[in-house]
């Protein structure tokens, strides 16, 4: 494992108690960071923070701006100002065609997968600007580039994360704040529990490497994008789709 220097940096990882989020937490800890794990699931947080030094778990609904501010206060109290924000929390939503998609489910996916990215970024950018340093990394998806059938809100939300990344990256470029996103192919995380086997098979069939990405591979990219070495690129979209996307 290559060494990525995040020594004494404070990272907030949303959805940090499982899946991509927990793998990112572990790679950040191995790189020397202090980590605030935000997750809505208090039991998962309790398990995830056990035996992980330099971490705190904060129960937080990232679709609630007031809850974000409360979580941010707890995180700052424990670890100081936030240097790194990883927008990872998300859901897949049901696998259904648009004609059958419940409006309530559309709104639920958009609220967590897109709006919460805005809420969390808005909460930290002022402080990052004042300190003239920050790294914001959002976990988008290959679905945001190509659109997956029967996953319209998820695809739309992740496309929105890509566009938001480009916009915010330009806004903050003069403040030594790098804003980038990652577009992974699917991984075998608990998000698979939310989607049909037919949809899982469809996603695998599109990957030239003929396997799903691992959470450790996504964590490696996220941590490098969070490092001080990421000093020039901002508004970037970093592919990790096993060759599915070549643009």
Active site residue ranges: 154
Q: CA dihedral in degrees (54, 32, 128, 13; nearest 10)? A: -60
Element (H, E) at 87: strand 84-87
Q: Who contacts 168 (Cβ-Cβ below 8 Å, separation ≥6)?
A: 121, 125, 136, 179, 235
Q: Is 230 helix (H, G, I), strand (E, B) or coil?
A: coil
- From residue 131, how far is each of 84, 119, 172, 177 by CA, in Å? 12, 20, 12, 10
Q: Who contacts 61 (Cβ-Cβ below 8 Å, separation ≥6)?
A: 40, 67
Q: Which two tokens stand for residue 68?
A: 């974000």
Largest CA distance in the chain: 50
Q: Who contacts 98 (Cβ-Cβ below 8 Å, separation ≥6)?
A: 152
Using the CB atoms, write b or e for 202-235: b if 16+ within 10 Å.
bbeebbeeeebbbbebbbbbbbbbbbeeeeeebb
């Amino acid at each position: 494992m290559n060494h990525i220097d995040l020594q004494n940096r404070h990272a907030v990882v949303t959805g940090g108690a499982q899946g991509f989020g927990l793998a990112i937490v572990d790679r950040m800890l191995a790189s020397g960071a202090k980590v605030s794990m935000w997750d809505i699931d208090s039991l998962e947080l309790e398990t995830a923070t056990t035996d992980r030094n330099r971490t705190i778990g904060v129960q937080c609904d990232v679709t609630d701006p007031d809850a974000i501010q409360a979580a941010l206060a707890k995180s700052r109290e424990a670890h100081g100002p936030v240097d790194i924000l990883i927008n990872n929390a998300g859901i897949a939503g049901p696998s259904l065609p648009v004609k059958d998609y419940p409006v309530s489910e559309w709104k639920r996916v958009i609220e967590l997968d897109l709006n919460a990215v805005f809420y969390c970024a808005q909460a930290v950018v002022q402080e990052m600007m004042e300190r003239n340093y920050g790294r914001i990394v959002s976990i988008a998806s290959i679905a945001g580039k190509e659109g997956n059938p029967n996953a319209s809100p998820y695809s739309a939300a992740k496309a929105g994360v890509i566009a938001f990344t480009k916009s915010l990256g330009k806004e903050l470029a003069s403040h030594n704040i790098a804003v980038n996103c990652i577009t992974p192919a699917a991984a075998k995380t608990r998000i698979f529990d939310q989607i049909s086997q037919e949809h899982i098979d469809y996603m695998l069939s599109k990957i030239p490497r003929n396997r799903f990405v691992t959470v450790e591979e996504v964590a490696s990219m996220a941590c490098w994008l969070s490092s001080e070495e990421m000093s020039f690129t901002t508004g970037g979209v970093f592919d990790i789709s096993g060759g599915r996307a070549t643009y």
